[in-house]
Each structure stands twice: as C-alpha cells, then as structure tokens.
Amino acid sequence: MKDDYYWFWINNITGIANIKLRYLFKVFDTPEDIYKASDKMFEGVMGIKPDDIYSIKESRKSEYIYREYSELDKKNIKFTYPGKYNYPERLMNIYDYPYIIYYKGSLPQSDVPSVAIVGARNCTEYGRSVAGRFAEDFADMGIQVISGMALGIDAAAQKGAVRKGGYSMAVLGCGVDICYPRTNIELYTQLESNGGIISEYSPGTPPKAGLFPMRNRIISAMSDALIVVEAKQKSGSLITADQALDQNRDVYVVPGRIGDTLSEGCLKLLKEGAQLITSSKDIYATESINRYINCSKKDDNCMNSLNNNGIFEEKFKKSGLASPKNMVYSQINLFPVSLEMIVNNSGLNLVEAEGILLELELDGLIEEVSKNYYIRKHI
C-alpha cells in the first residue's frame, strides 16, 4: 500500500482524533508503523485505551475506509498530510496542526502573503461592502484571501477576491464535498475552479456547531494577518481572533459604532490591543507580510514568486519616463518597496534616489505609505 492510503486510514478510524494521533506518533514514526503494529505494541501508549486498540484493529479490515479512499478521485478530492511536499507550511507552525487536509481546487502558495477576513453572518451592507472592497484590493496586490465561506462577511470577502481574479480559499467546518451554506453554491463552484476549498474533516462529514471553532484555527494559521469586520460580543470571529493571537498573527479590526451590537466584538478587540484598519494599505504594517516585499532581486526565487503573482511588473517602456527615473519607477508597484532596496537595485546613491522619489511623488505616480516605503499609485 502507498503512504497516502495509510494516512487516509489513520485519519478515518472511529474514535481516533487529533490528540490521540499525537500520542501515537510519539511512539510510532509513521501511519504504516501503526497499521502493522501488534496489539501488545499499543500497551502503555499514553491516551490510548483498549477501545482505541480495538478500533485500530477493526479499521484495518474496513471495506468502508478503503472504498472512501478509492472514491476520492471521482469526487475531485485530493488530500495532503505532514511531510508531503504540498502540506501547507503555515500549518506546521501551530501546535495542533491537522494530520490531514482534504482539498478541492488548489492550495494557497506558501511564498505568497495571505490575509484572512472574517466577521458576522448577519452583517450590515456597510460591513459587506468593506469586506468586499478590502478583498478586491488584496487581489490586486497579489495577496491571497482566506475565509470560511459563511454567509455575510466571509462570503463578501471571498466574492470580492474572485471578482478581481485573485486567489481565495475557504476553510470548511464540514467535508469539502459539502457546500455549506447551500446558498453559497455559486461561490463554492468558483473557488473549486479558481481557488481552493479545504477541510480537516473527512468527505461526507455534515456541518455541526462543534466543528466550526476547530476549523477557525486553520483560517488564522493559514494567514499572515487576520481582519475582523463586524462581530458581536460573543461570536466565532472572536474565537478566530484569539487563535490568531495565540499563533502570533497580527489582528486588525474595522472600527464600528458605539452601541451597535455588531461593533461590540470589534471594540472589545481594539481595547485588548488589536490594530485598527481603515484602508487595505494598513495591512503593510504587518511584519510577516513585509517579509515578502523586502526580498532582494538577488534572490531569484523570491522575485519570481512576486512576479508570478502580479506584485512586481516590468514597465520600463510603458511608463514613458527617462532613465534613471524610469529605473526607480519600474521597481515600485502595489507592494511597498523600501528606499534601501531601491538604492541597492538601481545603483544610485541615496541622495539621487531620494530626489527621484520626490519627483515621482510630485508627479502623482507614487506614494510614501510609511517612512521610506513607496507604492505605485497608477498601474
């Protein structure tokens, strides 16, 4: 049997959830080792009870598990697991990472920035508009948009990214073969074709209230920053924000109105130290996102990644500017570029570069979004 089957098998044994898998993998190196282990080898494994040993033994001869594994291709469902080449790198940085990820469509790229946008299901038109507009901007910037495909803010954000041809991924609290809520079937289909749909739950798993808080940790983990747009005092969005903070992600909040129930959660987060966001450009303050834009042109892998996602484009001839002004302008795009990087890549000295940047600002072609960081205003 292939490694893929052993990983599928271990993640589909009744009663063996993530925490028990962690206990097992402290003793056994691979799922294949567990599959081939004798009953005696399980004795003394922390957290593993006689009922669990029985479930493992019975699952080895389960026709159901093998049949479900065989059906995956027909359903256009793929999966990945720790150690496989395409397992999301961001997930490995959290302590309770899932041991299997099912997906339809494609997985997000690990070397491209990602932002999660979450919020209330019963949102206002204002909240829906903000979420959609931010996501559109992020798509233009080449930033991947992550959310949960719920009604309201989630769906508005993911639709915004799709509208602009950007990548968006939905993390579900059910099997990836189930569109929930059903009213989002058009978005589900679009994400399957041009984005991604993922879940740690086996295909066919129906949506249950208890599954959604667990999936929220994946939404935050897959992102470099989290934005909350409208949230009540007690909501799943606050759970996601707490998990994001635990995972050392930056949390941003769209401000709301005092006395508005949909602003209570947002105001609470702001009081607790979350960052205010009023423009998509505010996301540039995220240190983990800035690491994608400060790479040197000497790093071919980094620059190729940025080029492939529409972040840096060569427009030397199109701008109509004369060199060296053209040389400086060509380095600036939708992601902020540092003065230091411009000096290093252009061969100009600091005074020359600063003078040209000032000219470009006065021409209305670029903008200094923070000290010594510049973006292009017209693409």
Q: pLDDT-derived band of residue 292, with 50, 70 and 90 as boundaries?
A: low
Q: List Cβ neighbours of 136 (8 Å cut-off, separation of 6 or more).
A: 160, 161, 163, 164, 166
- Spatial contact of 218 and 198, defined as CB atoms under 8 Å apart: yes
Q: What does the pLDDT look like over 4-30, one tens digit per residue?
A: 999 999 999 999 999 999 999 999 999
Give the integer Cα–Cα distance in Å for 29 and 282.
44
Backbone CA torsion sign across 30, 31, 37, 42? positive
pLDDT tops 60 at residue 306: no
CA-based nearest residue to 62, from 4, 3, 10: 10
- Spatial contact of 348 and 326, defined as CB atoms under 8 Å apart: no
Mean pLDDT of 107-134: 95
Give the integer Cα–Cα distance in Å for 228 and 174.
22
For residue 117, what are the β-bridge partners? 227
- Spatial contact of 42 and 68, defined as CB atoms under 8 Å apart: no
For residue 229, what are the β-bridge partners? 119
Q: What does the pLDDT look like over 181-200, one tens digit per residue?
A: 999 999 999 999 989 999 99
The mean predicted confidence, pLDDT, of the chain is 88
How far is residue 340 CA from its own chain's centroid? 29
Q: 3-state secondary structure string, the chain?
A: CCHHHHHHHHCCCCCCCHHHHHHHHCCCCCHHHHHHCCHHHHCCCCCCCHHHHHHHHHHCCCHHHHHHHHHCHHHCCEEECCCCCCCCHHHHHCCCCCCCEEEEECCCCCCCCEEEEEECCCCCHHHHHHHHHHHHHHHHHCCEEEECCCCCHHHHHHHHHHHCCCCEEEECCCCCCCCCCHHHHHHHHHHHHHCEEEECCCCCCCCCHHHHHHHHHHHHHCCCEEEEECCCCCCHHHHHHHHHHHCCCEEEECCCCCCCHHHHHHHHHHHCCCEECCCHHHHHHCHHHHHHHCCCCCCHHHHHHHHHCCCCCCCCCCCCCCCCHHHHHCCCCCCCEEHHHHHHHHCCCHHHHHHHHHHHHHCCCEEEEECCEEEECCC
- Spatial contact of 157 and 187, defined as CB atoms under 8 Å apart: no
Per the omega criterion (within 30 degrees of 0), is the bond before 324 cis? Answer: yes
Q: What pLDDT sits at residue 24?
A: 96
Give the integer Cα–Cα distance in Å for 330 and 332.
6
- Spatial contact of 146 and 223, defined as CB atoms under 8 Å apart: yes
Give the integer Cα–Cα distance in Å for 223 and 227.
10
Give the integer Cα–Cα distance in Å for 155 and 37.
45
Mean pLDDT of 356-365: 88
Mean pLDDT of 108-125: 94
For residue 197, what are the β-bridge partners? 104, 170
Q: pLDDT-derived band of residue 334, with 50, 70 and 90 as boundaries?
A: low
pLDDT tops 60 at residue 302: no
Q: What pLDDT sits at residue 247?
A: 93
pTM above 0.85, yes or no: no
Structure-block tokens of residue 83: 């150690």
Backbone CA torsion sign across 235, 237, 243, 245? negative
